[in-house]
Amino acid sequence: MKAIGIIPARYESSRFPGKPLVDIGGLTMIQRVYNQVKHATSLSEVVVATDDQRIYDHVKSFAGNVVMTRKDHQSGTDRCAEVIENIQGFDIAINIQGDEPFIDPLQIDLLVSCFARPEVQIATLIRQITAVEDLQNVNKPKVVLNALQEAIYFSRQPIPYYRGKEINEWLQETTYYNHIGIYGFKAEVLKELTKLPISKLESAESLEQLRWIENGYKIATAISAHTNDAIDTPEDLDLILKKYFK
């Protein structure tokens, strides 16, 4: 099966406008993401999907593949679906976060490998939680798995709740996982997902993957130990620069 890596990149961001074009040690964020993704051996093609001429022109300037998409998309998933509608010949679409400049290409290969099982519709990555701070952080969604290692729920709160125990004891009772925000889709499934209306669970938690589960789709998971450094705010960028360049 042929897989395409799609990197959604929009200029407008409530917390960090112009984020894809910020300088990180001499290269823009989108160029660093693109360069990392190109090292994933499982991908037949890599493309940036944007709705902004500045990003489009910049990707062209470093000889990257880029396509213009509509401005009215509500999520990166919708943007990826437009790409897969217009670029034929791919069985799998990988939605790669455009704000992780040091993403490990092996994570992408791991995600693509999930589709060696023909029954897999959607796949994503997870990481074991080892710190109580991560367990309590509502900005780091948690994943609940079934016995087949499929995601059956995502929440900003830790699940299960251990009644009668302090939260700093919970990690001794069971294994908790954080969600890593990279998705793989069978191409036809991706097209179906964008036609689904926003669900009640999605609205409650502000997590779009709950819409898919609520509508009966199964999400396979694979465990990665790599720590992903996402940049959501200017403060995150400062931390990244101190970590890698000072």
Question: How far apart are the C-alpha atoms of 130 and 211, rounded to whole Å?
Answer: 28
Question: How far apart are the C-alpha atoms of 88 and 111, rounded to whole Å?
Answer: 21
Question: How far apart are the C-alpha atoms of 53 and 138, rounded to whole Å?
Answer: 34
The mean predicted confidence, pLDDT, of the chain is 95
Which of 58, 43, 49 has its CA nearest to residue 5?
43
pLDDT, residue 106, reads 97
Q: Is the pLDDT of residue 229 over 90?
A: no
pTM for this entry = 0.94
Q: What tens digit of pLDDT does each residue of 4-37 get?
A: 999 999 998 778 989 999 999 999 999 999 999 9
User: What is residue 165's three-state secondary structure?
Assistant: coil
